[in-house]
Structure 1
Amino acid sequence: MNSTTDSAKLDRITGVKISSVTLPLPTGISDAKVLTGRQKPMTEVAVLFAEITTAAGLQGIGISYSKRAGGPGQFAHARELAPALLGEDPSDIAKIWDKLMWAGASVGRSGLSVQAIAAFDVALWDLKAKRAGLPLAKLLGAHRDSVRCYNTSGGFLHAPIEEVLDRATESLDRGIAGIKIKVGHPDNRVDLARVTAVREKVGDAVPLMIDANQQWDRPTARRMCRAFDPHGLVWIEEPLDAYDFEGHAQLANTFDTPIATGEMLTSVAEHAELIRTGIDIVQPDAPRVGGITRFLEIMALADRKNLQLAPHFVMEVHVHLAAAYPREPWVEHFEWFDPLFNERLEIAGGRMHLSARPGLGVTISDQARAWTVAEHHIGS
């Protein structure tokens, strides 16, 4: 071996712990999928934590999640995969991702199978950044130290408009830049009235987005996009089914208001087709697509097409990824995960700021441990 190899800090994975945590929500959450009868109100989020330890005494924390159904399935698949991590060099993240994917290849390369892998993948990236003594964004190569942020959690359809207006004001007072509210009500006039009321309340200068959660057909989407064009929206999100790539492209090519989608896609291949067909703003979700490794591939595809990026949910992870995107992105603010971590992200001046803490910069709280419904540990 030469001197460079002799001095390299090699390491091995010696222990893996996975935990299934049921995060309760203060009130039942309803978007357009509830009002159209396709789903019931959401009362909890199933969170999958992965904690990976190494022979050198380092630890990485990873996270995935499922809304409504799927949490027990993610945990079960992660439990099956966990033994494959032992003995691996934690720096070989792409190699490990492939190993885990092939271990469960018979259940596919998207959906629940890769969402279980995501928790391990995020933990490995957290660990790698900690080894370097850097925030994850700096390890990846940050373009900025803060990212524009907007709030979604105050704009659900179950909330009366008075509450939505109050929550919008509270968010702006906290230093959040933009407001997103849910649309897709069976009565289109309700959507128009709610968006008009919010625009009048916050003023023309505040960035305002709307999200139909896939509940419009193509004719309705065209009518609604035309009606909302004068409102100066930053984007209209998921006006159509998530897999109607051509329909979204047609809307993007027809109307002035940008069209955004992508959060429900669960693979790089699906995002590649969305980007190829045509969209204005891509909204990948790292836990849903298999973790940071796969998210970075989607970022590269979006950058090549000069697209805007607005990652979905899990701001604790996505603030780092968005900071590493060449074009100015957006990050979605939800306070739902706050009880799971001991740290808080700083928000000021309309932006979410990176901390100087290494890795993701978060540690799992005692409250999260108390909400744990299942756990599994292997190794030392």
Structure 2
Amino acid sequence: MAQAVESNIVSYAQIADGARTAAETGDRIEWVKVSLIFLPLATPVSDAKVLTGRQKPLTEIAFIFAEISTRDGFQGIGFGYSKRAGGLGMYAHAKELAPNLIGEDPNDISRIFTKLLWAGASMGRSGMTTQAIAPFDIALWGLKARRAHLPLAKLLGAQRDSVQCYNTSGGYLHTPLDQVLRNVAISRESGIGGIKLKVGQPDLAIDIERVGAARNLLGHDFPLMVDANQQWDRQKATRACRAFENVDLTWIEEPLDAYDFEGHAQLAARFDTAIATGEMLTSAGEHAQLIMAEGSDFIQPDAPRVGGITPFLEIMALGAFKGRKLAPHFAMEIHLHLAAAYPIEPWLEHFEWLGPMFNEQMQLKDGRMHVSDRPGLGYSLSEQAIAWRADFEEFGKHP
């Protein structure tokens, strides 16, 4: 018997000696391209931050795209963005980071994220540092899903094949009320599932009038949200939340400074109307602070802002554990897949601004955005986006 056991041990050792490890057989990143693209907006956009003099109207958005190719012939594309300022800085840091990807196994996404995070850690592990990582991380997740011939939502384990969708872009503060109401009607007729209006006028009565007019037009049951873009202090926010308590809002967004977790928690506990916030936070750690402080009913992470899909999944896990609802900010081309994988019914924010940048269109029907059957993230850069490209740089050898 002892001889038989010894023989088996030898044979297993022989098998192990002839085996190859995952590290030895994995694919490798061979080429990375980083591009800076400026998307012009047809009409300058103003919210409460403009009325208070903190920011200028938004006229363009800077996008940083990463395109990745591997030795085995797989490709991925991802993007980050910045509004008003910071785009050039993000682009510069992304170019600093890009060489760190060459030679890495594209499947090791978490390890690559950590490597890139520490490459720029002297500038911190949030803000521009993480935002410059996002294009690479998102591209790698898209690449992995394409390798599996699956939409990213399916790779992550979709809970649903469509997500209820609301529109923001028709209700900015610079838009006269009669035009806002026309935009609201058009959005509803086009199949949108909810409407969000900007608030934060110096005179709260104007906000009340505009929101009340939209509610009267939409009727009692149609989902309506408002967004103050951080422009109230605690006293003004309390008055506003009280004034809107009987308007049947789905949520009141960013009533306070994004980092006033305690103040948001007080509002969430005091009023029946849900509080939503989180779009301005730039790391999984910051979102953890918000969630653990009971600072909102809806969490609103933004994958390009927090560093990509890898940290976004961490936020999703904690948010679901704590029973928070999800309404990701902007970038619906990415967030549709993530929202589809969230266990609690989420919302998706619809922005038509990015449409000209991609060859593919998204399907909106009966108030919901539907996941397509295209593998990966399901989009590719259009000729228009390439025409808007201001600069690019390549690293490694194109396969």
**TM norm structure 2:** 0.94
Shift of 1:3: 7.0
Aligned counterpart, 2:311? 294
Alpha-carbon shift at residue 5 of structure 1 (Å): 5.7
Once the 2 structures are TM-superposed, how far is the Cα of residue 4 of structure 1 from its aligned partner?
8.7
CA offset digits 1:168-220 (Å, max 9, x no partner): 11111111100000000111111000000100111111100000000001011
Give SS of 1:231's match. coil
Q: Specify the code of the residue in structure 1 equivalent to 2:41.
A: L
Using the alignment, how far apart are the partners of 1:99 and 1:3 within structure 2?
28
Q: Give the Cα separation in 2 of the matches to 1:44 and 1:129.
A: 31
Report the CA distance shift for 1:356/1:4 in structure 2 as closer, same or farther (over 3 A). farther
Match of 1:260 among 276, 279, 283: 276
In structure 2, the residue corresponding to 1:230 is in which secondary structure?
coil
- In the alignment, which residue of structure 2 is the partner of 1:79? 95
SS in 2 for 1:284: coil
Counterpart CA distance in 1 for 2:266 and 2:389 is 45
Look up the equivalent residue of 1:96 and give its one-letter code.
I
Alignment partner for residue 266 of structure 2, among 236, 250, 263? 250
User: Equivalents in 2 of 1:169, 1:152: separation in Å?
Assistant: 13
SS of 2:345's partner is: coil
Q: Does 1:128 align with 2:128?
A: no
The separation in 1 between residues aligned to 2:359 and 2:188, in whole angstroms, is: 24
Q: Give the C-alpha shift of residue 163 in structure 1.
A: 1.2
**Residue in structure 1 matched with residue 176 of structure 2 by the alignment:** 160
Is 1:338 matched with 2:355? yes
Q: Name the SS for the 1:229 alignment partner.
A: coil
Secondary structure, aligned partner of 1:66: strand
Q: What is the rounded CA distance, in whole Å, between the counterparts of 1:269 and 1:85 in structure 2?
A: 24
- Runs ≥4 residues deviating over 6 A: none
Matches of 1:32 and 1:176, distance apart in 2: 24
In structure 1, what is the Cα distance between the partners aligned to 2:336 and 2:209?
Answer: 32
Deviation at 1:137, TM superposition (A): 0.4
- 1:9 to 1:146, Cα distance in 2 relative to 1, 3 A: farther
The residue type equivalent to 1:313 in the other structure is: F
Counterpart among 144, 151, 167 of residue 160 in structure 2: 144
**Superposed, which structure 2 residues align to 1:61-100 within 5 Å?**
61-100=77-116
Residue 48 in structure 1 maps to residue 98 in structure 2: no
Partners of 1:106 and 1:374 lie apart in 2 by 26
Task: Give the distance between the partners of 1:366 and 1:168, measured in 2 at CA.
Answer: 31
Letter in 2 for 1:370: A
Identity level (%): 64
Within the alignment, does 1:23 sit opposite 2:44 as a pair?
Answer: no
CA distance in 2, matches of 1:50, 1:220: 42
Indicate yes or no: 2:301 matched with 1:284: yes
Structure 2: distance between partners of 1:109 and 1:170: 42
Q: State how 1:300-311 maps to structure 2 within 5 Å.
A: 300-311=317-328
Task: Note closer, same or farther for the CA distance 1:287–1:129 as it changes in structure 2 (3 Å cut).
Answer: same
2:212 equivalent in structure 1: 196
Deviation at 1:165, TM superposition (A): 0.9
- Name the counterpart of 2:10: none
- Summarize the Cα distance change of 1:373–1:219 in structure 2 as closer, same or farther, 3 Å threshold: same
Aligned-partner Cα distance in 1 for 2:229–2:255: 7
Equivalent residue for 1:372, pick from 380, 389, 398: 389
Deviation at 1:15, TM superposition (A): 0.2
**1:87-118 CA distances to partner (integer Å, 9 max, x unpaired)?**
00000000000111111110110011110100
2:31 aligned counterpart, secondary structure: strand
Distance apart, 1:10 and its partner CA: 2.4
- 1:115 to 2:115 alignment: no
Deviations 1:224-272 (A, max 9, x none): 1000000000000000000000000000000010000000000111111
How many residue pairs end up in the alignment?
Answer: 380
Tell me the secondary structure at the aligned position of residue 246 of structure 2.
helix
Q: Is the aligned partner of 1:353 residue 2:370?
A: yes
Take 1:154 and 1:98, find their aligned partners in 2: how far apart are those partners?
39
2: distance between equivalents of 1:166 and 1:377? 46
Q: Is 1:58–2:79 an aligned residue pair?
A: no
Question: For residues 107 and 81 of structure 2, what CA distance do their matches in structure 1 show?
Answer: 24
List per-residue Cα deviations over 1:39-91 (Å, max 9, x = no partner): 00000000110000001111100010000000000000000010000000000
Distance (Å, rounded) in 2 between the aligned partners of 1:236 and 1:371: 35
Given candidates 279, 286, 292, the residue that maps to 1:270 is 286
RMSD: 1.3
Unaligned 5+ segments in structure 2 are: 1-15
- Superposed CA offset, 1:320-344 (max 9, x none): 0000000000000000100110011
Mapped to 2, the partners of 1:192 and 1:258 lie a distance apart of: 17
Paired with 1:171 and 1:142, the residues of 2 have a C-alpha distance of 27
In the alignment, the residues of structure 1 paired with residue 225 and residue 176 of structure 2 have an alpha-carbon distance, to the nearest angstrom, of 18
Instruction: Tell me which residue corresponds to 2:331.
Output: 314
CA distance in 1, matches of 2:107, 2:390: 30
CA distance in 1, matches of 2:94, 2:304: 13
